[in-house]
Amino acid sequence: MEIVLVHIGTKLPAHIYDCVAQIKSKSELPIVLITDSSVCIDGVEVKEVATPKDTFLEGFWAHTFNRLKVLSEHMTRAPKKPVLHIENDVLIYHDPLEYANVFSDIAKGRVLMTPLGNDHLSAAYTYAPTSKSMGILWVELCKHMGMGQKELVKHTGYHFTSEMTLLDHIYKNHSGLIELLPILRGDPHYDRFNSVFDPASYGQYLGGIQNAPGVAWAGDHHFIGKKINKDEILPVFEDGKPYATEGPDKYPINNLHIHSKQLKEFMG
């Protein structure tokens, strides 16, 4: 297994160095950065690629969509090597190698991702068991994008198009491509980890959002956010680690998606 970061389309953000430092503190797995920037990061294998320009999406959403393309292409060079892909504003608090067998058992040839809300899946923490699994998913994404914006809206019923809404649509309508990691206690597969994964909401509550860092935020349109707003869950950060609390019970959160980009505040 290797941990793969991807950044294309804009200047490499400073917080990626914090993301890398946190990975190194938790795991000895090799780290690969796929980017269209010329950069050298100690202990990271950098693979420079051309900036993809083959989607009707623009700006941020074009970059988040195309990172799945370069991830899939990267995996074809080592087709049987599992990959854990995390976004550059994600911190991990565990060694992914400890979950290697669990990931493989759950995946059964599918790509593992986290649900965010009723119409969004997050690829912020993604496990792909083989290049075949990631390649099939990418082909399906391309088929949908090839419909064009108007036809795609009609086909999916989602008025906003991003890789997150497309992944959600594919998960719900094309079996065998995506399986979900647990984000709440009681979710399928929770008992395999006794912990949860953060698609965005835990990190947004603890660290705020990019336009309001440090201000706790939770949205009812997120599965986790709705429970936070109903006082059913309270995320906490204690002794350098995040947890979700439900009454007297507390369980670990394996990663935080730090939308505020203030990763240093949550390194541990």
Q: What is the rounded distance in angstroms from the CA atom of residue 2 to the CA atom of residue 131?
A: 13
- Nearest CA to 196 out of 268, 111, 257, 266 is that of 257
Fold assignment, 1-268: Spore Coat Polysaccharide Biosynthesis Protein SpsA; Chain A (3.90.550)
Angle at 208 between CA 210 and CA 237, to 5 degrees: 135
Reported pTM: 0.96
Q: Kindly list the domain boundaries of the chain, sorted by start residue.
A: 1-268
* Number of other residues whose CB lies within 10 A of the CB of residue 147: 14
Kindly write down the DSSP assignment for every residue of 58-113, as one continuous string: -HHHHHHHHHHHHHHHHHTTSTT--EEEE-TTEEE-S-GGGGHHHHHHHHTTSEEE
Q: What is the rounded distance in angstroms from the CA atom of residue 223 to the CA atom of residue 199?
A: 10
Q: What is the pLDDT along the chain (268 residues), one digit of tens a residue?
A: 999 999 999 899 999 999 999 999 999 999 999 999 999 999 999 999 999 887 888 888 889 999 999 999 999 998 899 999 999 999 999 999 999 999 999 999 999 999 999 999 999 999 999 999 999 999 999 999 999 989 999 999 998 899 999 999 999 999 999 999 999 999 999 999 999 999 999 999 999 998 899 999 999 999 999 999 999 999 999 999 999 999 999 999 999 999 999 999 999 8
pLDDT at 55: 86
